[in-house]
Copies of this chain bind each other. A is one copy, B any other.
């Protein structure tokens, strides 16, 4: 086992509730001998990975890590990152997941991860669907203000199915729901029997916005699994939002009726 493993473990000790570590912290958290902990922290400081707080025995991440971490944002584009987390979620859940972007009033899938189930939703990359009549679309439209949405749909629209919004007021009401709940949902809208759950996230630095979506046959998913899907999507999106410091991100807020069995 390389010392790199130990060094990475040290980095993983840091969290929002632990901004610095000491020798004894490492002993208790990682179960390593005091001697190792002492030398490792010093070595990491000497290499510029950590720095001591003042001249105390406390160590915290150093500037180098802040700089390299900053680069991660640019190195991995928003779509790449969204694709990575959504692919992971798809693997766990087994249903089809994809990443979409909005261009005007249309939604375009940019990456897809087909599910493992025999009955699965197949989304082809590049397909265009109307934004107002899909969960991905509403997840992204919810990031706009109501007046921006009205401006976008100043010529109105016609609902393609029973469950899609009929007019702009109905659309705005559903966008308000998306904002308060933290996710968008559709069933039987674009395709009969298909249920979809989406969460939107953006990167203020580049202006990009994407929707993460998991789509599945409505008949196949029980309430508990639906909640699991919502949770995993929201978690994945929240991770990205934290990274990009997305201020327009709507965190998950499950209502009582949602959380009840």
Contacts and interface: CB of A to CB of B under 8 A. Distances in A.
A4 B126 contact: no
Taking residues whose C-beta sits less than 8 angstroms from the other chain, chain A's interface range is 35 or more
A197 to B, nearest CB: 24
Contact of A3 (B4, B49, B61, B72): B4
B101 A4 contact: no
Interface in A48-65: 48-49, 53-55, 60-65
A153 interface: no
Contacts of A146: none
Contacts of A101: 63
B11 A206 contact: no
B19 A71 contact: yes
Interface string A192-217: 00000000000001111000000000
Given A4-B7, A53-B206, 20 more contacts: A4-B4, A5-B47, A7-B7, A8-B49, A8-B64, A12-B48, A14-B68, A14-B75, A15-B71, A16-B74, A19-B74, A54-B206, A54-B208, A60-B75, A61-B68, A61-B71, A63-B72, A63-B101, A67-B69, A70-B243
